[in-house]
Structure 1
Amino acid sequence: MKFNFIQSLDFASLLIITSSVFIFIALFTSHKEKFKTFFILRLLVLCLLLLYLFNPVIKYSTNKYSELPWALFFDNSSSIKFHKSPSLNSINLGIDNFLDQLYSKNISFISHSFDTEVKSLKGKLSGSGQTTNIGNIAEYISQNKNKLAGAVIISDGIPTEGVEPSLAFLNSGLPIHTIGIGNKSSLIDIFINSIESPTVAIKNDRINISAEIQSIGDINDRFSVSLYDDSRLIASKYVELYGLGSKSIVNFQFQPKSLGRQKYKIQVSSVSDEVNISNNKQNFDVLILKEKYTVALFTGSPNKNTSIIKKTLKNNNRIEVDHYIKIFSNKFSTPIKNFWETSYDLILFENYPIEPLSPNFIRILAKKIISQQSGIMILAGPNQNNKSLEGLSIIAGFQIQNEKTADGDYNYWEFSDNVPDSENLPPLSRKFSITSIDNNTSDIAIYESGWTLLARNINRKIRSVIFTSPDINKLFFYKNELTVFSKIFSESINWLLRSGVSSENFFRLNRDYFQQGEMAYLSGTKVGHEDDSLGFYVDVYKENKFILSTNFDMNMEKSIWEARFRTPNPGRYSYNVHSKHNKEIVQSTSFNVLDSQIETSQVFLNEKLLKEISASNKGKYFNWNNREFIFGEMPQKGKQEIKANVIIFKDSIQLLLLILIFICTEWVLRKKRGLL
């Protein structure tokens, strides 16, 4: 320890000090019995003030020796529990024995587990980690290398996320040993990696399906790949699989026979030792359309709804409309003979009939509808009443009730699924009061009074729809986040025609379920609006909570729209495809995200990586069965810390407080003795 003054003494300072001492001695000699306490306090204050004046410095140092621990990192990812040898239970027993030997050899250590992140080891390994990020260990070592003697990584060496470990561990500055767990041969897994197919096709046209089959593990055999239409086998082929992550392409070609969204499945045969057979099959949809749909539109008297309905139908280039406008009692704008001679996919009655149709007309119409399997849609008009639909309502599967309705009496209503919110919907008047004839009817929208606004019916494969308000034109001009007119009219047309023509674009994910963190690919075929040139975007929701959004890009080579996004946490999600032209929802479809199983597809010992990590950091690699030999490579290390300490009296707050205490004490004593 050293003691010295920062300030040097000059003559004036020395004179002041000497004079002060002599004066103090003289006063103390003459008054020491009476004021002894005050002299002591003043002497202490004087000494402290002198220390402040000359600012002496005390320097001293302390030595401290501390042991440096070894950092142990145990792999807790899912792949650890899938190794046949050693088992997870055997690994946990081996870890307990390993730690006990470290204690017995007085080797200081700290234990961690790692998967997606590095954390303190608490209890036994569970193999619950969804991914393996070995690069995080390198980051931890870099941040704490001055506090560690070295590191030991116990793992199977299979990184499934993060940076390339062999690069992350370069020049860490510490010895890093590795212990490899598991067998070098991988578990076997065969799965359908992706399916490429058109999202829209024409009935009886040949369509091409391509499936990418990937195999992992020690495989070298032929497997069957089958294409199903629901449960009906369409085609089957054999493919040679070689494992080790190799991929094979299987192509199918067939002619769809049914209209609408048809569900197909591709399935590959499995093997007895396969780790996961749920990914051996994938479902996908293809929208099968007719080249043209013919619609007969009957109008009793043109009104505000007529032009809107006709324009909406003609905007779709797959729909051909024959418009029959009633001119006289037995005459239409288009000869009625043309109607009887033409096969129609849909017959739409708009403000027609105004007067009840004759029984003979009803009878012939019913035969035509049944033989041609035509859909029926009835849209209430301003010139109709309950009697207008006598006879026709029975064909459509509805029954008219004699409930009087007043013109101009508007009622609030809502969709059965309450989407969108009923508070935002405009009130509508009611023209017809209907009930269903059988249990094949479903109400899509209802009035607050309980009467039906929009209903659908299926009877002997004949589909029918009725809209009981004459105010559908109001919905056409009503806009909100979900276009109500589209939900009422366009979706009804789509349902009646058994097709997706109402949405012109049909988009599909490359799989019907995903693992967490996988990339999902969404593609769609452009069918026909000029406005689609502006493009599309997709929003992803989970239980009505917005998750993410991304834009589509046009693949010019394949003439399809494509988008991709990384799947979030496990759960059931839905995606909404929007047109950039009017923000309208083109399609809404659900999909599932499962817990990540990426670990299960890579279960083997990657000795190469573990040896590279050890070799680049002055460490050694050991197999799990030879782990006891590592103790000779783990010497106990420590570090000596020499700390220099400096005490400067002028900077001491404690010294200043002490002076104030002495002065205050003297002041209190003087006041008690009456000296103030």
Structure 2
Amino acid sequence: MAAFFQGINPVLPIIFITGIGAISLFIAWWTYSSLSSIPAHKKGALIGLRAVALFILVLLLLNPFISRLFTDAANQRVAVYLDNSQSITIERGEYDGLNTYGEIIAEFERSKSDEIEFDYFLFDDSITRSDELTGTGVRTNINNVVEHLQENETNYLGAVLFSDGIITQGRNPIFAAQNLSVPIFTVPVGDTTDVRDIAISDVEYSSITYSFTSQTIRAEIQQTGYEGESATVQFMKSGELIESQEIDFTTAVSSHIAEFSLEFNEPGFFDFEINVPPKEDELTDQNNRYIFNIEVLDDKTKILSIAYEVHPDVSAIRRFIATDQQNELVISTWINEQTMIGVDPLNLSEEPDLIVLHGLPPNGSNVLEWIENQQIPVLYFATPSAFSRLGDSSLSNIIGFYATGIQNPIDVQIYHGSGQGSHSLLELTPQNYQRFPMLQTFRGNYRLSPLAQPLMFALFQRSETDIPLLIAEDTSTRRKAAVNAFGWYRYQQSTLDEAQQFYTQFLSNLFSWASTPPDRRTLMLEPAKPSFTENESVEIRAELFNELGEPEPEAFVDIEIFSGDNPEPLNRFRMNHLRNEIYTAELGNFPQGLYRIEGRAVKNDHEIGTAETRVNVSQSSTEFLNTKRNDDLLISLTEITGGLFISDGDYSGMNEMITRRIAEAELTDTREETFFLYQSIIWFFVVLTLLSVEWLLRRSVSLP
């Protein structure tokens, strides 16, 4: 330790400080100058004591301080990084997993120099300060090790890296190692023999599908070392084998695709598994199994088509319904009071999703009363004879309008009313309707129900009329739409492509809109991919529509994650809005298992919708796809940084290199401490002592 007088605070010229000393001496001399009877030596002592005491007091008022410099030897430390990933636990050949790994570390402990301090770190996809090996890391990121050493290279003389050199995450560490100024000593661990392994590397499927549809599941199978052999790929549903395929391996390393077809007849969540039975000498069976689930939605629309008149429109529209595989068509044709061809609407075993009326039933019909009492959407298509029955005002409860004063039929064309573009039914490709085939309707006084909205009108002889051709009504319980014209079969038979395109688009909009209930599914959740592994961050996507069926970008979508049947959520997240109706959330990594995700969308304290989905997280097979030790990488790290590749357990070279670095470098730490003199009580006792000695001398010469 070295201490020296640093200066005075505030800073004053030396001549000024010297002046203070001179003034102190002068005051002391002047005090005793008139006393001639005192011996000279005692008089000089009194003047000196008084001058020193006065000088100290004045000097302390100027706040002097002392700076002390401390020079210590720096910590002579080396960082030790231990690979804690799953690949180092593989037991194969002469390598006995963690047992062999522990023996290598024990040999290092016995051989390391006592003059050097070692700090231990575990690494997989992150770095933690510890020396307790578990071998549970699902990724190996050696680049993180190099970057960690670079950030702390002023604290370490070098680093010892125990690893198999197999990178499963991050960049190649060779590039970052070029910027290091300290050496890396690598110690290889792991197996060096070639492996034989079969792995299910990927499975392609749609996590959401619909009832009464089919789907093809594609599984990619990779193998190493089984040339000339074969394997069985099993496809299982809820633990039961439903199909299997044999795959022949014709080369030493190959990739194969196994396909399985599925048909879904009912809605719900279904668990599936693709499994390859392990072979006796296989490296691991942890990558021979892939579990996933599929949500089947009941999206078949059951449409009851009731015709009260034989007309070409009826068959044309029924053909259109039947061509869509999402529709289930139920036909009922009224002949007379005693005869119905097809099903009886009053005796249906299952309620339809949509009722399509071709014409109107006769007055007093039980079917009319049944339709009015149901909360089933209704889509009405006019037929010629139906206009004579439109005078009943109660019809507005079923088809949204009624009419009086029906006159003669007229040929008309379509034109949009003032509501053009304001309704989803009018989302049609712009057309020149005057080129299209003629439709027919009747003149009359049309009266709409309070909630009904006219969307299209009749154009008669190029003149606009108030005859509604398309009427829509959307209530809280069901939707109704009425097409007040007939002759649509001409559009289907037209040679004009635009007319056929309009016909298809118009009917598609009608059936989609009418069959969608007011409480339709507004929030939809699904994983970004069918399945995730433990080393992948789970991503959830959502689509949100408001009650009008429009994209909703301004809501809050909160999700909760549940494991199995546990009622308590593991975590909660708020999704981020991406664009339009799309929301996303990154949930982070999860261990292997099946997770339930529940979502809730809220806007202005009003719940828009809820949804649920499933996420499957499988065990990462990345650490087991390649387990052969990568000595080339470990050697390259030592060559770039000036270290050593230690494969024989001889650590003497490492100890010598580190000792030499200690001797060559100025490994010292210097620190400075500032001490203000007035803070020490010793000055109180010094001044008190000086004044006391002065008083005793004064008493000795009989001075007061």
The interval holding the TM-score normalised by the smaller chain is 0.5 to 0.7
Alpha carbons of structure 1 residues 546 and 283: separation in structure 2 relative to 1, 3 Å: closer
Residue equivalent to 1:653? 678
Which of residues 635, 660, 668 is equivalent to 1:641?
A: 668
* Contact map agreement 2:236 2:272 (CA 8 A) in 1: yes
* Contact map agreement 2:24 2:52 (CA 8 A) in 1: no
Shift of 1:62: 5.8
Residue equivalent to 2:101? 91
**1:233 and 2:251 matched:** no
* Contact map agreement 1:80 1:88 (CA 8 A) in 2: yes
CA-to-aligned-CA distance 1:261-317 (integer Å, 9 cap, x gap): 4655433343332413465233433637685425799xxxxxxxxxxxxxxxxxx98
* Contact map agreement 1:71 1:152 (CA 8 A) in 2: yes
Q: SS in structure 2 opposite 1:71?
A: strand
Q: For 1:257 and 1:645, how far apart are their aligned partners in 2?
A: 79
Q: SS in structure 2 opposite 1:613?
A: helix
CA-to-aligned-CA distance 1:313-372 (integer Å, 9 cap, x gap): xxx984779999xxxxxxx99988865489845159xxxxxxxxxxxxxxxxxxxxxxxx
Shift of 1:19: 1.7
Q: For 2:331 and 2:28, how far apart are their aligned partners in 1?
A: 125
Shift of 1:150: 1.4
Residue equivalent to 1:308? none
Q: SS in structure 2 opposite 1:238?
A: strand
**1:518 and 2:536 matched:** yes
Q: SS in structure 1 opposite 2:231?
A: strand
Q: SS in structure 2 opposite 1:614?
A: helix
> Counterpart amino acid of 1:576?
E
* Contact map agreement 2:195 2:283 (CA 8 A) in 1: no
Residue equivalent to 1:183? 191
Alpha carbons of structure 1 residues 269 and 579: separation in structure 2 relative to 1, 3 Å: farther
Shift of 1:48: 1.4
Residue equivalent to 1:20? 27
Alpha carbons of structure 1 residues 567 and 242: separation in structure 2 relative to 1, 3 Å: farther
Which of residues 589, 595, 600 is equivalent to 1:568?
A: 589
Which of residues 597, 608, 611 is equivalent to 2:635?
A: 611
* Contact map agreement 1:520 1:565 (CA 8 A) in 2: yes
> Counterpart amino acid of 1:9?
I
Correspondence 1:265-414 to 2 at 5 A? 265-272=273-280, 273-277=282-286, 279-285=288-294, 287=296, 292-293=301-302, 318=327, 339-340=343-344, 344=348, 346-347=350-351
> Counterpart amino acid of 1:619?
G
Q: For 1:624 and 1:655, how far apart are their aligned partners in 2?
A: 61
Provide the aligned length of Structure 1 versus Structure 2: 489
* Contact map agreement 1:270 1:277 (CA 8 A) in 2: no
**1:109 and 2:96 matched:** no
Residue equivalent to 1:541? 561
Alpha carbons of structure 1 residues 146 and 27: separation in structure 2 relative to 1, 3 Å: farther
Residue equivalent to 2:85? 77
Residue equivalent to 1:9? 15
* Contact map agreement 2:217 2:260 (CA 8 A) in 1: yes
Q: For 1:179 and 1:550, how far apart are their aligned partners in 2?
A: 45
CA-to-aligned-CA distance 1:53-77 (integer Å, 9 cap, x gap): 8998978866544462222222223
CA-to-aligned-CA distance 1:580-609 (integer Å, 9 cap, x gap): 999654642344546766434443322233
Q: For 2:65 and 2:602, how far apart are their aligned partners in 1?
A: 76
**1:68 and 2:76 matched:** yes
Which of residues 147, 152, 155 is equivalent to 2:163?
A: 155
Alpha carbons of structure 1 residues 611 and 547: separation in structure 2 relative to 1, 3 Å: farther
Shift of 1:180: 1.3
**1:118 and 2:127 matched:** yes
Q: Which has the higher contact order (CA 8 A, sep 6+)?
A: 1
Q: SS in structure 2 opposite 1:612?
A: helix
* Contact map agreement 2:216 2:259 (CA 8 A) in 1: yes
Q: For 1:283 and 1:186, how far apart are their aligned partners in 2?
A: 28
Q: For 2:237 and 2:128, how far apart are their aligned partners in 1?
A: 49
Residue equivalent to 2:140? 132
**1:196 and 2:216 matched:** no
Q: SS in structure 1 opposite 2:259?
A: strand
Shift of 1:512: 7.8
CA-to-aligned-CA distance 1:644-665 (integer Å, 9 cap, x gap): 86978xx533368835984799
Shift of 1:211: 2.5
Is the radius of gyration larger for structure 1 or structure 2?
A: 2
Q: SS in structure 1 opposite 2:104?
A: helix
Shift of 1:575: 1.6
Shift of 1:617: 1.3
> Counterpart amino acid of 1:87?
G
Residue equivalent to 2:408? none
> Counterpart amino acid of 1:236?
Q
Alpha carbons of structure 1 residues 616 and 242: separation in structure 2 relative to 1, 3 Å: farther
**What is the RMSD computed on CA atoms of the aligned residues?**
5.8
Q: SS in structure 2 opposite 1:111?
A: strand
Instruction: Please give the TM-score of this superposition, normalised by the length of structure 2.
Output: 0.54
CA-to-aligned-CA distance 1:72-129 (integer Å, 9 cap, x gap): 222223322224314312322331221222146x44433333334434444x523244
Q: SS in structure 1 opposite 2:646?
A: strand
* Contact map agreement 2:139 2:168 (CA 8 A) in 1: yes
Alpha carbons of structure 1 residues 12 and 269: separation in structure 2 relative to 1, 3 Å: closer
> Counterpart amino acid of 1:623?
S
Alpha carbons of structure 1 residues 110 and 607: separation in structure 2 relative to 1, 3 Å: same
Identity of aligned residues (%): 18
> Counterpart amino acid of 1:114?
F
Alpha carbons of structure 1 residues 35 and 277: separation in structure 2 relative to 1, 3 Å: same
Which of residues 168, 173, 181 is equivalent to 2:176?
A: 168
Q: SS in structure 1 opposite 2:29?
A: helix
Shift of 1:165: 2.4
Q: SS in structure 1 opposite 2:15?
A: coil
Q: For 1:113 and 1:517, how far apart are their aligned partners in 2?
A: 17
Q: SS in structure 2 opposite 1:603?
A: coil
- Structure 2: segments with no counterpart, 5+ residues: 307-324, 353-372, 376-474, 479-518, 563-567
Q: SS in structure 1 opposite 2:187?
A: strand
* Contact map agreement 2:273 2:291 (CA 8 A) in 1: yes
Q: SS in structure 1 opposite 2:641?
A: coil
Shift of 1:190: 0.8
Instruction: Please give the TM-score of this superposition, normalised by the length of structure 1.
Output: 0.56
Q: For 1:345 and 1:154, how far apart are their aligned partners in 2?
A: 71
Q: For 1:531 and 1:318, how far apart are their aligned partners in 2?
A: 21
Q: SS in structure 2 opposite 1:20?
A: helix
Alpha carbons of structure 1 residues 188 and 642: separation in structure 2 relative to 1, 3 Å: closer
Alpha carbons of structure 1 residues 181 and 148: separation in structure 2 relative to 1, 3 Å: same
Q: SS in structure 2 opposite 1:616?
A: helix
Alpha carbons of structure 1 residues 599 and 40: separation in structure 2 relative to 1, 3 Å: farther
CA-to-aligned-CA distance 1:470-491 (integer Å, 9 cap, x gap): xxxx9979xxxxxxxxxxxxxx
> Counterpart amino acid of 2:110?
D
